[in-house]
Amino acid sequence: MGFHVRVFKTGPDFLDDDTGAGLPNQVRHRPGWDHISAVQNHQLFEIRSCDALQPGPTALTDGLLRLKTIIDNWSKTFG
């Protein structure tokens, strides 16, 4: 089962992308994805790939901090 199919079936509360491929805009316009909580509640985020995928401490500092901020904000709003 492909990644997009798994995401579609699980209906996540938020989505983050670290590929730099513009996931938030792509997901927002995919047919049928408007029923997913993350899309309905505008919880689509992009983490810069250099902050999340680069080897070394940057992924653990900048990337993880960005992800923590996304989760904290989601929790305050929807948790």
Q: What is the pLDDT of residues 2-38, one digit of tens each?
A: 666 777 677 888 888 777 667 777 878 888 888 888 8
With 90 as the cut, is the pLDDT of residue 63 above it? no
On average, the pLDDT of the chain sits at: 81
Q: How far is CA 32 from CA 25, 67, 79, in A?
A: 14, 26, 25
User: DSSP assignment, residue 26?
Assistant: H
Mean pLDDT over 46-74 rounds to 83
User: How high is the pLDDT of residue 20?
Assistant: 67
Dihedral angle sign, alpha carbons of residues 9, 6, 34, 41: positive
The pair phi, psi for residue 6, each rounded to 5°, is -65, -45
Place 72 in a pLDDT band, splitting at 50, 70 and 90: very high
